[in-house]
């Protein structure tokens, strides 16, 4: 049987339906960052808005993970995406009327962050159940290619929409794009045989079981630590791009779109590499990749021209894609389906929460100190923290489990 997910009807429908929505998400992110900067001209508020997008996943993510393991994942996913349609259209209307202020933007961004946090463990739990075991790594990598293709095209589309019609239509585009996911969820068929006989338990007990499952595995704990460092310091730094685009490169929304697209271009290459079969993927490769990424975060803080910055963030996109998706592949291949939603929710909480915390901290430090020096310091910390982290033994890496003592 083929190990390529490209031969699987279910995954092609799901990723195809999600692709339109993913373009909308990146249009939204560029528009949101640019509107925040235009309203405040403050790195701190850029960080606050990023925080509101990701923090709800930390607070509610584990509960969403229980939901992903207990309820119909297709129905729950459709309802969450319908909520995103409504929220985006409200934001689009307010922005088009030029009556929105930073307080309202914070509220609507937090609502969208909550909806995204609810869908993330659902998405991560759905994808592995669409394919056979031998196609799982390929499916995750293929999803990464689709995500990063939209990360390349979406920002360019955002720049076009904002330049010609403003941020309101950009938000409306994102709202309509969620319909693609809803249609895909209606068409796919999930393999739920592994979950049919699962006895009902109290949600809190299920959450504790998921946490115990995750945190008693040294290998999974280290993956979680790598993800936390990458997101707090790496992605937190990248959330400062709206400030870099205007304050450092003096390029406005066009420069922001170009930088975000450059990240996507690098990330696409990373996804393609992984989709060809990540047999070379080990914890040592992740360690080296993240340490190199720390060096390029330092370079981001040093360069002061847009072309050089685009080259730097493109390489960062490649490295962070390899490390981020690579970590997800290693995690998913060692998690039983009954725990997949809950473990995915802790993973999402780490990724989104780390980005939220990092954005807030780096934004605050940049406002009080200096934008470029703050990012340089973050890059140095990445290299030091990853470089000094303890690697599991060979046996732990092979089993993905904590050895008995």
DSSP 133: G
Contact between residue 91 and residue 108 where contact means Cβ atoms under 8 Å apart: yes
pLDDT at residue 353, rounded to an integer = 77
Dihedral angle of Cα 396, 397, 398, 402, to the nearest 10 degrees: 30
Q: Which CATH class is domain 5-190+202-399?
A: mainly alpha
How far apart CA 231 and CA 243 sit, in angstroms, is 18
pLDDT at residue 35, rounded to an integer = 93
**Per-residue pLDDT tens for 107-124?**
999 999 889 878 877 777
Look at residue 310 and tell me whether its pLDDT is greater than 50.
Answer: yes
**Per-residue pLDDT tens for 34-49?**
899 889 988 899 889 9
Q: What percent of the chain has pLDDT over 70?
A: 84
**Of 100, 121, 104, nearest to 56 (Cα)?**
121
In terms of Cβ atoms closer than 10 Å to its own Cβ (0-12, 13-18, 19+), residue 394 is exposed
Q: Where are the domains of the chain?
A: 5-190+202-399
Contact between residue 149 and residue 86 where contact means Cβ atoms under 8 Å apart: no
* 376-386 residues labelled b (16+ CB within 10 A) or e (exposed): bbbbbbbbebb
């Amino acid at each position: 049987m083929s190990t390529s997910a490209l031969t699987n009807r279910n995954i092609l429908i799901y990723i195809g339906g999600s692709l339109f929505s993913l373009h909308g998400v990146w249009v939204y992110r560029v528009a949101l960052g640019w509107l925040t900067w235009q309203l405040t001209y403050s790195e701190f508020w850029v960080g606050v808005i990023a925080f509101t997008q990701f923090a709800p996943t930390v607070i509610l993510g584990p509960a969403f993970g229980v939901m992903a393991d207990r309820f119909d994942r297709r129905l729950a996913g459709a309802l969450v995406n319908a909520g995103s349609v409504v929220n985006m259209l409200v934001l689009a209307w307010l922005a088009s009327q030029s009556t929105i202020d930073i307080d309202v933007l914070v509220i609507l961004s937090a609502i969208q962050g909550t909806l995204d946090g609810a869908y993330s463990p659902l998405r991560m739990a759905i994808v592995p159940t669409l394919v056979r075991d031998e196609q799982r790594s390929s499916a995750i990598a293929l999803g990464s290619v689709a995500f990063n293709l939209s990360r390349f095209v979406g920002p360019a589309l955002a720049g076009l929409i904002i330049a010609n019609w403003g941020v309101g239509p950009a938000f409306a585009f994102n709202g309509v794009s969620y319909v693609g996911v809803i249609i895909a969820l209606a068409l796919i068929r999930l393999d739920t045989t592994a979950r049919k006989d699962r006895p009902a338990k109290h949600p809190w007990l299920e959450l504790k079981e998921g946490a115990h499952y995750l945190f008693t595995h040294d290998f999974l704990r280290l993956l979680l630590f790598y993800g936390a460092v990458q997101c707090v310091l790496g992605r937190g730094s990248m959330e400062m791009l709206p400030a870099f685009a205007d304050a450092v490169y003096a390029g406005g929304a066009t420069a922001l779109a170009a930088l975000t697209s450059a990240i996507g271009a690098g990330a696409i290459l990373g996804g393609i590499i992984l989709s060809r079969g990540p047999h070379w993927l080990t914890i040592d490769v992740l360690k080296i990749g993240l340490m190199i990424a720390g060096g390029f975060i330092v370079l981001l803080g040093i360069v002061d021209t847009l072309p050089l910055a685009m080259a730097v963030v493109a390489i960062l996109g490649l490295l962070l894609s390899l490390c981020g998706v690579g970590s997800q592949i290693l995690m998913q291949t060692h998690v039983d389906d009954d725990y997949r939603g809950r473990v995915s929710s802790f993973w999402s909480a780490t990724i989104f929460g780390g980005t939220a915390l990092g954005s807030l901290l780096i934004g605050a430090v940049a406002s009080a100190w200096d934008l470029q020096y703050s990012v340089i310091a973050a890059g140095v910390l990445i290299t030091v923290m990853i470089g000094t982290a303890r690697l599991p033994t060979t046996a732990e890496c092979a089993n993905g489990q904590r050895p008995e003592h």
